[in-house]
Amino acid sequence: MSNTALPLRQRIDGGSPTRAELASLAAMGVPVHLADCDLAEADLSGLDLKDWQFDRCNLRQARLTNTILETVRLTACRAGFANLAAARLTDVAVVSCDFNNADFSDANLSGVVFQGCKLTGANFARARTMTVSFADTLLTDARLTGFSFRKAQLDQVDLSLADLAGADFRDCVFAGCSLREAHLTGARFEGADLRGADLGGLRLTDAGKFKGATVSRRQAAELLAQLGLQVSG
């Protein structure tokens, strides 16, 4: 049996640690807990930050391109306009964070949970996804072309005005969600339960996009009303 001790998590409270300092810790494989640190515009690109934890950190406009974020937890962080292009996020928990206008393009997201987050205007173009979940999260005007939500349970997720062209919502369940005026060209909804989604702004000509999905009587009536028909009984 090996007697090699596991590295202890190193905590850094406050301040603005440099890339050199963080890169040195990353190279040693030391898990780091950063709390209340100012990392605005910091260059963390290409670092292996496995098992790191970020609490209440400022990551606005931080560069995390090609960064390895495996089993990382981010809580109450401000990361507007952060660049995570081609980053690898595996088993990551993102809780109560602001990632408005962040760039996740070409990122690899597997087992990622977004809870209570702001992702307005975020770019997920060409992101490779597996088991990504969203709850109580704003994705207004986000770019989610081709994104897979298949079999997801979406609870209190606002997708209004989002670009969802080619997105996969098959067997997805919506609860307290909004698809109001979202761009849905080529999106798939077979087996989806849309009764908990706001479909405001949907035109009758768009109804074919929801082929195979379950809608409520009220939603069906709103569509038929465009033909001058009323649902009674």
- Identify the bridge partners of residue 90 per DSSP, sorted by sequence position: 70, 110
Half-sphere exposure (Cβ direction) of 215: Cα atoms closer than 13 Å: 19
State the span(s) of the chain assigned CATH 2.160.20.80.
Answer: 40-138, 145-151+160-173+180-233
For residue 6, what pLDDT is reported? 44
Residue 219 φ/ψ, nearest 5 degrees:
-65, -40
Least confident of 1-10, 111-120, 136-145: 1-10
Mean pLDDT of the chain: 91
Instruction: Name the E strands within 17-139.
Output: 32-35, 53-55, 68-70, 73-75, 88-90, 93-95, 108-110, 113-115, 128-130, 133-138
Indicate whether 33 pLDDT > 50.
yes
Question: Are 47 and 69 within 8 A, CB to CB?
Answer: no
For residue 9, what pLDDT is reported? 76
- Contacts of residue 209, defined as CB under 8 A and 6 or more positions apart, other chains included, come to 184, 185, 187, 189
Helix (H) or strand (E) holding 224: helix 217-225
CA-CA distance, 54 to 96, in Å (whole number)? Answer: 12
Q: CATH fold of 40-138, please?
A: Pectate Lyase C-like (2.160.20)
Q: How confident is the model at residue 61 (pLDDT cuts 50, 70, 90)?
A: very high
233 class by beta-carbon count within 10 Å (0-12 exposed, 13-18 middle, 19+ buried): exposed
CA-CA distance, 153 to 173, in Å (whole number)? Answer: 5
**Cα 229 from chain centroid?**
39
For residue 2, what pLDDT is reported? 44
Q: CATH fold of 145-151+160-173+180-233, please?
A: Pectate Lyase C-like (2.160.20)
Least confident of 77-81, 107-111, 131-135, 229-233: 229-233
For residue 1, what pLDDT is reported? 42
Indicate whether 8 pLDDT > 90.
no
CA-CA distance, 149 to 103, in Å (whole number)? Answer: 19
CA-CA distance, 135 to 119, in Å (whole number)? Answer: 12
CA-based nearest residue to 137, from 165, 88, 99: 99
